[in-house]
Chain A
Amino acid sequence: MAPEARGILPSADFQRLLDALHIRGYRIAGPTVRDGAVVWETIGQVSDLPISWRDHQEPGRYRLEQTGSAEIFGIVHGPQSLKPFTFAPREPLLQIKRTQGGFAAQPKLPQPEKVAVIGARACDLAGLAIQDRIFLNSSYQDPYYAVRREGLFIIAVNCTRALPTCFCASMDTGPRAKHGFDLALTEVDDRLVVEAGSEAGSDLLSALSLPPVPHNVIDEAAARVDACAQSQVRRLDHSRLPQALYDAHEHPRWDDVAARCLACTNCTMVCPTCFCHTVEETPDLTGQRTEHARLWDSCFTQEHGYIHGKNVRPTIKDRYRMWMTHKLASWVDQFGTSGCVGCGRCITWCPVGIDLTEELSALLMPCEQQSMTSRQ
């Protein structure tokens, strides 16, 4: 990479980056602590960021703690990926009003908005790239997604600490942000290595006129990201996918996981790539206007597989199998990529701590061996 594509910014001067974004008309969204978790909120000051906080994630467990350090990006991630920025949890599609002898439908596209997101992780970028493929490069382009996507400026953070639930290294999606960002930051003690990944990012970087990064800091930053990859304890073996999972359709492990799964939909809500949605129609009280909106749906709901008088996936076993087979197998056939980016959110936010890496390894074992090692 050309030397001018990088600069070093002391953490104490981080406000300069926020100011530069504000000058360019961006609303800045960053991680903030709320109700014991980290969520994206509009921020103005460095102090809005969760400085000195760290997250602890395990299957079915999410805890935040304060370390007393000056670390800005100590929290790896919260339940939200980048998904809500582009694929809104509820998106009004049409405003329809009654007219003389009929109705008139008006598209209700979101207002174009320049949003700079600070703190996206490599897994989030990978998730966004997959959603781009779905909503922008399929047979039909989604104009609502396109408007939201257009205004996004992404400041990624390279991970230097892996959570026990992370497995991006095995999915080749992280922990280093390789593409899909405007700027990427690596926090090295009290400094940030700032790297541009797009023209808009380069412009911002030159405007900051940061000093060049000393070689030893470049090496140190790279070493910390590498160490983060090394330290990941979970991995997902996708080498035999999609076929191996198609072949496991009748595996007894599905019964085992179905007995634990609550079909609560959490895994699909926190997943950066899940795209199922339903459409709701909300007429107003006068009956003269109605809003046609889409909202996130989940393959774990009763209604997802419903066709008049029949449900093609009546059991939780059917639905868990649908979710996992889609995510890890049929997704590959549909979009040329796995639907999993290794962020581990579905493991953390599962109330009963179901771990899809563990489920997959069990499912890829021959049935006889599996029954010997299965839990209880």
Chain B
Amino acid sequence: MINPYLIHPATIVEKIQEAEDIHTYRLQLNEEATRRTFRFTAGQFNMVYLFGVGEVAISIVSDPDEPERLDHTIRAVGRVTSAIGRLRAGDTVGIRGPFGQGWPLEDARGRDIVIATGGLGCAPVVGAIEYIFRRRREYGAVKIIHGVKTPRDLLYQERFEAWRRQPDTEVLLASDRPDGTWRHHVGVVTELFERVPVNAARTLVLMCGPEIMMRLGVPILMKRGIPATAVYVSLERHMECGIGLCGHCQMGPYFLCKDGPVMRYDRVEPWLGRTGV
């Protein structure tokens, strides 16, 4: 019987600073056999472990076609992630995974893609965006919509600029509390959902961010003709086991660690608006 709790050591090959307290850790599994057989899909996550401290669920943002390299973008905010934040290249962490259901990027081939994100923690879609741009010709028009509270919250500025230069790609940014230098949309991100040019029948939406953005934003896209079944959202709950057994990540009938974290919108729609779910 496979032991799904077994943690495999991995070395931090590179630590890349993304923002003051956000780093991308490039990891490589130490055991050769594990490294060779490790496969994941974009949007899946690993439980990342630190000796003596514990585990935390972090999505894999690197390319699934290079499975020996595992990038995880981590914000030092909690007990485990703050301790990880003090590590350096060459240090060892642990990995258990990959877990969960990722983005439907295989099925998305040939379609237009709208990627809608809000707030700070959009690492799960960064992997999807990079995936699409590495295979740019296989996908149609790409719109990247991102909303922040203040311009200061706009992470990955260089990445947005680089994405903007991709063919047939538009990047739309919104801030509700802009300063004098803001040259993009002023207001909440869902206002951009009303304006972004889309070919509804061809479009697949990937969304990540606060649940309120999904709850208010998806109906706008649906009004524009995009069916709920063409919208995928990445959801977040407390996760400890990654295998649907510890009970923390439930949302209605789902265990987001194994049924998600990426869920088709129509399946979670009844649960999103509910308090305490």
- A→B interface (CB under 8 Å): 93-94, 96, 98, 101-105, 107, 134-135, 138-144, 146, 242, 246, 249, 275-281, 283, 287, 290, 292, 294, 297, 299, 303-309, 312-315, 317-319, 321-322, 326, 330, 333-334
What residues of B have a CB within 8 angstroms of the CB of A290 in the complex?
51-52
Contact, CB under 8 Å: A279 / B240: yes
Closest A residue to B237 by beta carbon equals A307
Which secondary structure characterizes the binding site on chain B? Answer: loop
- B→A interface (CB under 8 Å): 1-9, 11, 30, 51-55, 75, 77-78, 92, 94, 236-238, 240-241, 243-248, 250, 252-253, 255, 258, 270, 274-277
Q: In the complex, A333 Cα to B253 Cα: how many Å?
A: 6
Closest A residue to B252 by beta carbon equals A330
Q: A98-B51, A312-B237 are in contact. Are A278 and B3 (CB under 8 A)?
A: no
CB distance from A177 to the nearest CB of B (A): 27
CB distance from A156 to the nearest CB of B (A): 26
Q: What are the 7 tightest A-B residue pairs by CB atom distance, in nearest-first order?
A: A318-B276, A276-B247, A333-B253, A283-B52, A102-B92, A140-B243, A330-B253
What residues of B have a CB within 8 angstroms of the CB of A280 in the complex?
54
CB distance from A331 to the nearest CB of B (A): 9
What residues of A have a CB within 8 angstroms of the CB of B55 in the complex?
279
What residues of B have a CB within 8 angstroms of the CB of A319 in the complex?
276
Q: In the complex, A334 Cα to B250 Cα: how many Å?
A: 10
Q: In the complex, A279 Cα to B53 Cα: how many Å?
A: 11
Q: A94-B7, A318-B275 are in contact. Are A276 and B248 (CB under 8 A)?
A: yes
What residues of B have a CB within 8 angstroms of the CB of A146 in the complex?
1
Contact, CB under 8 Å: A93 / B5: yes
Q: In the complex, A278 Cα to B52 Cα: how many Å?
A: 15
Q: A281-B54, A305-B238 are in contact. Are A292 and B7 (CB under 8 A)?
A: yes
What residues of B have a CB within 8 angstroms of the CB of A308 in the complex?
75, 77-78
CB distance from B146 to the nearest CB of A (A): 20
Q: In the complex, A150 Cα to B110 Cα: how many Å?
A: 51
Q: What are some 6 contacts across the A-B interface (CB < 8 A)?
A: A107-B6, A277-B240, A305-B248, A305-B276, A330-B250, A334-B255
Which secondary structure characterizes the binding site on chain A? Answer: mixed
What residues of A have a CB within 8 angstroms of the CB of B248 in the complex?
276, 278, 297, 304-305
CB distance from B50 to the nearest CB of A (A): 9
Contact, CB under 8 Å: A317 / B276: yes
Most buried by A among B6, B55, B92, B276: B276
Q: In the complex, A326 Cα to B9 Cα: how many Å?
A: 36
Contact, CB under 8 Å: B245 / A142: yes
What residues of A have a CB within 8 angstroms of the CB of B258 in the complex?
139-140
Contact of A103 among B94, B238, B253 (CB under 8 A): B94
Q: A283-B52, A318-B275, A318-B276 are in contact. Are A276 and B238 (CB under 8 A)?
A: no
Contact, CB under 8 Å: A134 / B245: yes
Contact, CB under 8 Å: A297 / B246: yes
Contact, CB under 8 Å: A139 / B52: no
Contact, CB under 8 Å: A105 / B246: no
Closest A residue to B9 by beta carbon equals A102
Most buried by A among B3, B30, B270, B274: B3
What residues of A have a CB within 8 angstroms of the CB of B54 in the complex?
279-281
Contact, CB under 8 Å: A105 / B245: no
CB distance from B183 to the nearest CB of A (A): 30
Contact of B276 among A139, A292, A307, A313 (CB under 8 A): A313
CB distance from A146 to the nearest CB of B (A): 6
Q: A141-B1, A277-B245 are in contact. Are A105 and B7 (CB under 8 A)?
A: yes
